[in-house]
Structure 1
Amino acid sequence: MASQDHNLGDLLEDLEKASKLPAKRRSTPVKPTVERLTAVLYDRGALPDELVRLVDLITLPNHLDQASQGAIIRNLYPSSKVDDETVLKIVGSLGHGQLKPSLALQSLSLKWLILVHHVLENPGILSQAYGVMFNLLDTAAIRPQLCHLLALITRRKHVRPFRIQTILELSRQTGADASVIGLLRVFKNYYPEIIVGEATRGRASAFKHPDPQWRARLDEIQQQHSDQNRSSGVQNRFAANHSLSGRMKGTSGALIPPVRTQHAQENSVTLEEIDSPERFVENLEKIELPTQLVAILADPLLQKLLLLRPDGEGFSRVSNWVMSCMGDVLDGDADAGLLLDMAEVIHDYASHTKILPPMLLTFFGELLKVWDGVDRREVILSTLTYVQLMDWKELYQSILQQLESDLLDNTPESQISLLIFYTSLLRNWTVKMKAAEDLSSLSTDAISGLITHVNKLTLTLTQTSPAASTYLRILDFYDGTAAIVSDRKLLPHTGITVPPALVVYILHFSHSLVVVSRLCGILAIYKRAWEAVMSPLSARTLNPHEREQVNTFNGFLMDLCNCLWRGRAFAMSDTNSQGCRIPRSIEPALRRYVAAVDNELSLGSVFGLSHSPVLCLQAISYVRELEDAQIDEDGENTLLTRHAGPVTQQSLVQLAQKGGLDLTWQAYRSGVLRYLERNGFRGVPELMYNTMKQLMRERHLSS
């Protein structure tokens, strides 16, 4: 970095010397120097002192060619805040005259001011020069950039009768110039009774961001510079954000305004004066709300203030502003892309506050009607996960049904995206319920509605995308449901909705041990929840739906135990067992297949601990561990033989007779469960310990 700094200083010095000489008198061409300088600027930006010197090369009379000056402007990335001197140098270079830069360079300079507007050290400096720039609107070559910049900085104090008259006259002279109409619309926001609708109609579209890629590179450079300086001292960020990074790229009239407080009382404190947590707390009740409360969408300090001191009228004003922007788009007065830009701003607000108020939910209801399901997908889905608990049918009909229609395109990928969204929504709702003091005030019935709805989606995904990665996504959702039913505070208010039986069976017969283990762990949690609900100590009685749920749950619980522990896979003779719901006509074919593979095997045992495709390696590894432990003091293994595997009750008897391990069938199976626990696969042991009475007694005695 030091070499780069030194290099830029040398390049600047060379360029300054070259700028004082006509091209014919220079000993070396200036183009290579400009190329090297712009490369360094693109890499790390210009420090404040360097920025001033570079701006001098652009604004003051010199012998540099216009192409070189243009290249400098296009790569003029400030690494920190832009000071007042730099801004005033550029504003002072605008206009006509022999000593002024060419109009093409003036246009580039104005574009640069638009690009760095959010990083000005003093945002009010341009406001002080408002009259100078406004009086240059008759210069056609720089008018589009001037209108855009003026639109960014226009406030009520700037909208004077003579300026309204001037710009109305200019719009008539220019034949409804798009940039003029755009600025006129900003004026209309302040005085709609003076500037009527006809004056702002035309082909003008919203002001577009001049160069999003340039802005992205600027943000990277400034972040790098900030990170490098952070070690020199702790920066105090507990202050109003005067350069909101969440500005929308739509019309200037729809920009999120910075925090500014006008007409503050003498005994009040403005938010702009707050510079520390202590000062914020001391003056919490005295802080005057800013003039435009819509700044809450992008200013963290204002968000903190309204969270601690809610203001119903303020939130209503924000809602009116948002819906006004929506109306502009629907009426054709603003570009449809404005809605997605607004969605990004609202996402920043929601991610900071963890709240999506109903006023903003209305906005998303309208946005989803025109959304293509692709553009800014992550932003929209992430924002909607913060929706408040409300009646499930109302939420689904007003928002989620349209969201699914936009998102789903008959591919597993879109279905997985929807499942991830619902998983995040469930987690956020769970957090809100755990934090609530009075759960009866929340629409907790929405939880069962959400789970029932997603049950259908998970069942679909097991058919459209039968892969372990998909199964793990499904289990992520049911981890969330398990977290609710395992919470004694939440369970009485939410009830229990079990996963579909077919989903359970499909995941159980997965070829992934992680999937099987997580599934069993979730079912163990559900079993404990049912026991709590049905306990004599519980004053709650099950409704018909819950009794049906109990029967379904007991069915696949018995089937899993028959497969894993009892050696009776697909049996139908036990109470509640459903034979994993395979058609009975298939069972004889399965028995013949197993007998053809190994005549000593039976269909009932092929999914037990020893033979299961996902558990057999762990089972035989446990036996090998026991065998390796049989070493005497001389370091020799005392066993005469090792088990060839897989382990059965009969093979253990024969093994002991041949001088191998002396291990009972029950001890072997209990040992495999402990081995699974030690290796991080706790699900199967948890389910067995919570279901099989013999294992319950063993665990009780061992503890």
Structure 2
Amino acid sequence: MEEEIRPESLEDALSTLAEAASTPARDRKRKVSTTVDAITASAFNHGLDSTSLIAVVGIVTKKNELDQTINTTLVKNLYPLQRVSSGAVLVVVGSLGSGRGKPASSTQVALVRWLVLVQEELQDAACLSALYGVLFSMLDTISLRASLCHLLALITERKHVKPFRIQQLLALSRFAVEDPALVGLLNVYGEYYPDVVVGSASSGKSSKFTYPDPEWRSRLHSIQEVHARSDAAIHTADPNGFRVARQGAKRSKISVVPGLHTHCSDEHSVALENVDSVNEFVEKLESVVLPNQLVAILKDPLLQKYLVLKPSVTATKRIELWLSKALEEEIKLIRDGFGMTSHLSEVLQGLFNYTRYTKILLPSAIHFLEMYLPLWDGVSNTAEIFGLLAYLPISLFLDVRRRFFSAAEAAVIMHASEPYESLVALYIDLTSRWAQHIGSNASDRSGADANTPIEAFIELIDHVSTLVLSILCNPTSSGSTVSAILRFYQTLAAVLFTPANKSHSIPIVLPPAQVVYLLLFTSSLSELSRLLAILASYKQAFEASISATIRHPPATTNRFNGYLMDACNLFWRSLALRKSDANAFGCFCPESVQPSLRDYLETLDPEYSLVSSFGLSQNHVLSSLSVAALRALEDQADEEGLDLNTRHAGPATRRSLTKLDKDGRQTGLSQVHNLYFVAYSDEIWVYQPQFPTQELPKEPSFIFKLPLSTPGLPGYIDPQNPHGINNVVIGFLGNEEIIAVVCDDGDVIAHYTQDFNDAVERRQNPDSLDAPSDDPFPVFFHANVGMSAWGLAIHTEARMIAVSANSDGITVFAFALAKEEERSFQRTQREDEATGCSGGPGVSNLDDEERTWKYWDISDSRTEVKDSSVWYGNTGRPLSDDHEESLYDNEDEGEDEDEEEDEEEESVMGGYPGTVGDIHERPEDFRSRVYVSNSPSKFLLPPQTSTLADRKDRLFLDDDRVCDNTRRPIRPVPKLPCPLLFASVADIYLLQPWSNPGEPASCSPIVALADSLYQKPSEHTSRCNVFDRFNLSAQIPDLGVIVLASQKGRVAVLALTQVQTQVSEPTGDSFVRKVVRTVFAYRLDRILPFHSQEKAGQRPNAPLLGIAVGPIQGTAGEGRTRRWRLMLHYLDYTVLSYEIGKGRDDVLGVQNLIV
């Protein structure tokens, strides 16, 4: 068996053949027959591409050293894989005739026969027409005459029929009596000029001009059909449609639709067959005559273009007549039980192509579909049948459904293998065309029929929605079917944005709620993404129509609001199946079912929650992406050298991210002892800072592991570290300083700092060999609040500890001393205070002389907080101070400020009443604004029952409004017994105390500082910008200083101030009086780290995880301590220490100690 030659080896074989063709046989070193066999085998099996074909033609069209058998074999195997180029045709024609370098006559005959075979495969059909005179002049060559007459008969056009050629043919016929080839060519000439008398010359036996080798043509068709699967351009008509389509590879198939032929043209008219380009078509458009068979329009694009540009009633009637007769015969045969003929597919294909081009379904086609669909088997010609149905003119859908779609749906569902996908695809096309019709003809409709198209369109969508719902409820529906359903609603949403809908005439028809929720709980990520994109498109359509003053029924907008609200509750808000929100449907999940679902989830894992099981992190479709995104962020942090103490175990939620951020990264300084506490996981590391640099030793003095109240406690967030510390507070309970911590499992633990100090001193004794963690530490207090605990506050005077947790209340533990001098407590009273909020992140007490305790419910705060996409760290708490002796007096202090502050230490200074103090070389990347207002409306949000998440700009609609951000009446400012300082994301506010019983609380001025820690983004600190929010705080009452820190790594040092001012006060009898009022304010005294430290790169590119303040060593117990230390603890274990103090002139100073 001969070896099959691959294209890469065919080139070598052709080179060898070309060398052998110029080498005499006696001088060849190897047999040429092997090379010829390889080339012919490759040509017969795969065909020859253009390059190889030119190479072989170039060899056989010259006189060569190959024997005649090889030349004939090569010509017979010239199977073109692609269309034959004009260059190859010129080479072949140029080799014909007599001459010194011409090939043998038998080779020339084979080449002409080859031109006859490939005449329909030419790249440029005009090439042979241009060579007509050359070919005609060779008719006197007897050996070539028969083949040349066949070729000329195939390419003859009216322009070629000339009198001199007729005379030459007559002369040749006299010498070659009754030559069939000459008689056949004369008959072709006679068709163009029937009045020309050719005498008895054409009365002889004429040739039928059959193809010389039908098997060769069949083999060529097979080769080209195989190649056509990878090259769609093979055997297609002119891609521009400006040339008459001729059958190529399927020529042998008998066609019921006739080809385009024109036999009635004269020398002043042009036949479409003679048009070869768009320029020629435009030039001769008015001279074109109609062909004999107009039904050729079903498959000829040039005739379609002509009749579109020059419509003719006569031509349309002729086409209708032919189609009606042909289709009626098919209906009759089917009804008589003979079945459809093999020609019906060709007719339907041609009819569909014609309809697709003209966008008009002929009346004969409409009548045929109405008669044929009840007889249809639902399988044959599905693409053509559905393609025609998609062009049905718009009318009342109930009538259209009765006449066409009921029978079509029944046939397809009964017999087709994938019925639903094809049905939905049909309705996609029909919906798109009907919508385009409504939009394009909106201005033409008037009167009683104005709403008919819109009603028909709505009826169509309702029918499809019913069909879609039944498909989705079918368990056998495939993924491709669901994809088709989504494509339908994508199309329905897309038509609302087409140019045809500028007047918003296409109605917005929503998908049924059941369809939305079935797809909302899909197991495919792509399907979910496409559904949410569809809802977003609908929202844009609503917004566009509302801006155009188009009103929609309230039921429609409310229903769409429900879709959006339920989707938000599922994925973003972790409030799945909730119905309490406005317009929410709760995904139509009955409330009676939800307890069973919750019970089932608890059997799987107590940590599972029904409301959050469908969120971004826990959704069965989205969880893998959430984990991948979280891991990528953690890996990026590792690559950037940012040490992660703990990796998230997953799934990631806002609470768990907050928990992860707080775990093991809480700090505190004792106010009595030289002890610095750092919480890592469930351990407390104790350090002794060195004096005077406050540098921390490399190793802690000892490590203390927190005890468990009860093993296996529920209520934690992090399953990897359920006993991790969430918050650390150091303060005085009565006269004793304690360190209190709250844990993820709800444990509340308190120790005396004196015990830690005693342990450190024992460790410093060289006689002690105990390990640091072996010292027994008596637990002063140990309890559990049942849920993950976060907020922690110590009330000094009332001897109480307040704890907030992931529950709807705050737990307060009250203690009583047995005797004034004893440290032990005889009893503990526990009080649970209901707040109506869940998961309070912070709690703070207000120390007053009456020793009462209060809490501030921050979930009901009216303070406007900017949105943030990052997790919260240690949540800031409201700061209050009634030590008026620590407040600065602006009037006494302002004169000396400029002399005392140096460039390195100062950022921004400002104070009441709205003036900004002098600034020394203020860097451009810092900015701050001071506001003073007597109205709380600028800073306080109105009271409402919804949560903070509900107050965000809503994506859903409220009747005819896209967003509902209407401000409601302002709640009065609470009556405060002292100034209240609090911070939002980036702003700082101070509320005045309520002092006059007859004065409205809203009259008190509010001092605000906006963007106090703003800094232009830089490459060094870019990673920390996502943590930019005030979330850490500390107080130094002895200095009248409050420290507010942002987790991005910057700290604001505020000095409390006060000023005496005259205000007008109503007396109640329509008079006012002038009174002197003390107004409390503050000054932004320092921003840390210093600007010089920022420039030197000493600020770490890591979040700030804790701040701590305490007296400088050796200064405690001196009354009002005037020297304090501030320690900033970063994630990368960098600790920046500063000394804060007052000189004798009472001016605050901040000094950098060590990095």
Tell me the CA shift for residue 589 of structure 1.
1.0
Q: Determine if contact 1:239/1:272 at 8 Å carries over to the other structure.
A: no
Tell me the CA shift for residue 643 of structure 1.
3.2
Q: Determine if contact 2:258/2:293 at 8 Å carries over to the other structure.
A: no
Bigger drift between 240-249 and 585-594 goes to 240-249
Distance 1:240 1:290, change over 3 A: farther
Q: Paired residue for 1:314?
A: 315
Return the alpha-carbon distance in structure 2 between the equivalents of residues 388 and 210 of structure 1. Answer: 48
Distance 1:220 1:565, change over 3 A: closer
Q: Determine if contact 2:320/2:362 at 8 Å carries over to the other structure.
A: no
Structure 1 residues 39-118: aligned runs within 5 Å: 40-44=43-47, 80=84
Q: Paired residue for 1:691?
A: 956
Q: Determine if contact 1:259/1:272 at 8 Å carries over to the other structure.
A: yes
Q: Paired residue for 2:283?
A: 282
Among 473, 491, 514, the residue aligned to 1:480: 491
Amino acid in the other structure paired with 1:595? E
Return the alpha-carbon distance in structure 1 between the equivalents of residues 657 and 413 of structure 2. Answer: 54
Bigger drift between 489-498 and 39-48 goes to 39-48
Q: Paired residue for 2:426?
A: 421
Q: Paired residue for 2:567?
A: 560
Mapped pair 1:505 → 2:517: yes
Q: Paired residue for 2:598?
A: 591
Distance 1:249 1:375, change over 3 A: farther
Return the alpha-carbon distance in structure 2 between the equivalents of residues 212 and 229 of structure 1. Answer: 14
Distance 1:344 1:550, change over 3 A: same
Tell me the CA shift for residue 366 of structure 1.
4.6
Amino acid in the other structure paired with 1:526? Y
Return the alpha-carbon distance in structure 2 between the equivalents of residues 372 and 455 of structure 1. Answer: 25
Among 450, 455, 463, the residue aligned to 1:453: 463
**CA deviation digits over 1:31-61, x for unaligned, max 9?**
x99999577335327979999xx9xxxxxxx
Return the alpha-carbon distance in structure 2 between the equivalents of residues 263 and 593 of structure 1. Answer: 85
Amino acid in the other structure paired with 1:262? C
Distance 1:410 1:564, change over 3 A: farther
Among 489, 492, 496, the residue aligned to 2:508: 496
Tell me the CA shift for residue 594 of structure 1.
2.0
**CA deviation digits over 1:638-681, x for unaligned, max 9?**
5443433333444344334333999x999998469xxxxxxxxx
Return the alpha-carbon distance in structure 2 between the equivalents of residues 457 and 216 of structure 1. Answer: 44
Greater strand share, structure number: 2
SS in 1 for 2:570: helix
Return the alpha-carbon distance in structure 2 between the equivalents of residues 360 and 599 of structure 1. Answer: 66
Tell me the CA shift for residue 118 of structure 1.
9.3
Tell me the CA shift for residue 404 of structure 1.
2.1
Among 520, 526, 536, the residue aligned to 1:524: 536
**CA deviation digits over 1:206-239, x for unaligned, max 9?**
xxx9999974545557999997999xxxx99664
Tell me the CA shift for residue 586 of structure 1.
2.3
Structure 1 residues 582-621: aligned runs within 5 Å: 582-621=589-628
Q: Paired residue for 2:350?
A: 345
Tell me the CA shift for residue 479 of structure 1.
0.6
Q: Determine if contact 1:248/1:255 at 8 Å carries over to the other structure.
A: no
**CA deviation digits over 1:127-150, x for unaligned, max 9?**
99xxxxxxxxxxxxxxxxxxxxxx
Q: Determine if contact 1:339/1:367 at 8 Å carries over to the other structure.
A: no
Return the alpha-carbon distance in structure 1 between the equivalents of residues 155 and 957 of structure 2. Answer: 77
Return the alpha-carbon distance in structure 2 between the equivalents of residues 482 and 401 of structure 1. Answer: 26
Q: Paired residue for 1:641?
A: 646
Distance 1:467 1:371, change over 3 A: closer
Structure 1 residues 201-240: aligned runs within 5 Å: 215=221, 217-219=223-225, 239-240=242-243
Q: Determine if contact 2:428/2:488 at 8 Å carries over to the other structure.
A: yes
**CA deviation digits over 1:347-397, x for unaligned, max 9?**
443455555444434444455455433334344444544555455344434
Structure 1 residues 251-330: aligned runs within 5 Å: 254-260=256-262, 262-264=264-266, 266=268, 268-330=269-331
Structure 2: where are the runs of 5+ without partners?
A: 1-6, 18-32, 61-67, 93-115, 130-150, 157-187, 195-214, 667-725, 728-840, 842-858, 860-864, 872-951, 966-1155
**CA deviation digits over 1:59-96, x for unaligned, max 9?**
xxx99xxxx99xx89x999965999xx9xxxxxxxxxx
Q: Determine if contact 2:520/2:531 at 8 Å carries over to the other structure.
A: yes
Amino acid in the other structure paired with 1:271? L
Structure with the greater alpha carbon radius of gyration: 2
**CA deviation digits over 1:93-120, x for unaligned, max 9?**
xxxxxxxxxxxxxxxxxxxx99998989
Mapped pair 1:375 → 2:380: yes
Q: Determine if contact 1:485/1:529 at 8 Å carries over to the other structure.
A: yes
SS in 2 for 1:493: coil
Q: Determine if contact 1:80/1:222 at 8 Å carries over to the other structure.
A: no
Q: Determine if contact 1:354/1:386 at 8 Å carries over to the other structure.
A: yes
Tell me the CA shift for residue 581 of structure 1.
1.9
RMSD (Å), alpha carbons: 6.4
**CA deviation digits over 1:168-217, x for unaligned, max 9?**
xxxxxxxxxxxxxxxxxxxxxxxxxxxxxxxxxxxxxxxxx999997454
SS in 2 for 1:492: coil
Q: Determine if contact 1:297/1:346 at 8 Å carries over to the other structure.
A: yes
Amino acid in the other structure paired with 1:289? L
Tell me the CA shift for residue 314 of structure 1.
1.6
Bigger drift between 474-483 and 216-225 goes to 216-225
Distance 1:541 1:612, change over 3 A: closer
Tell me the CA shift for residue 504 of structure 1.
0.9
Tell me the CA shift for residue 480 of structure 1.
0.3
Q: Determine if contact 2:569/2:577 at 8 Å carries over to the other structure.
A: yes
Report the TM-score when normalising by structure 2.
Answer: 0.40
Report the TM-score when normalising by structure 1.
Answer: 0.62
Q: Paired residue for 2:526?
A: 514
Q: Paired residue for 1:570?
A: 577
Return the alpha-carbon distance in structure 2 between the equivalents of residues 574 and 4 of structure 1. Answer: 75
Return the alpha-carbon distance in structure 1 between the equivalents of residues 192 and 431 of structure 2. Answer: 48
Return the alpha-carbon distance in structure 2 between the equivalents of residues 218 and 481 of structure 1. Answer: 41
Tell me the CA shift for residue 533 of structure 1.
4.5
Return the alpha-carbon distance in structure 2 between the equivalents of residues 645 and 224 of structure 1. Answer: 48
Q: Paired residue for 1:165?
A: none
Q: Determine if contact 2:331/2:371 at 8 Å carries over to the other structure.
A: no
Tell me the CA shift for residue 588 of structure 1.
1.7
Structure with larger RCO (C-alpha < 8 A, sep 6+): 1
Q: Determine if contact 2:953/2:964 at 8 Å carries over to the other structure.
A: no
Distance 1:413 1:124, change over 3 A: farther
Distance 1:516 1:387, change over 3 A: same
Structure 1: where are the runs of 5+ without partners?
A: 12-29, 55-61, 87-112, 129-152, 160-208, 673-686, 699-703
Tell me the CA shift for residue 506 of structure 1.
1.3
Identity of aligned pairs, percent? 28
Amino acid in the other structure paired with 2:650? G
Tell me the CA shift for residue 415 of structure 1.
1.2
Greater helix share, structure number: 1
Distance 1:480 1:156, change over 3 A: farther
Q: Determine if contact 1:570/1:604 at 8 Å carries over to the other structure.
A: yes
Bigger drift between 36-45 and 274-283 goes to 36-45
Q: Paired residue for 2:365?
A: 360
Q: Determine if contact 2:560/2:957 at 8 Å carries over to the other structure.
A: no
Bigger drift between 390-399 and 2-11 goes to 2-11
Q: Determine if contact 2:265/2:271 at 8 Å carries over to the other structure.
A: no
Tell me the CA shift for residue 519 of structure 1.
0.8
Return the alpha-carbon distance in structure 2 between the equivalents of residues 286 and 299 of structure 1. Answer: 19
Tell me the CA shift for residue 298 of structure 1.
1.7
Q: Determine if contact 2:221/2:249 at 8 Å carries over to the other structure.
A: no
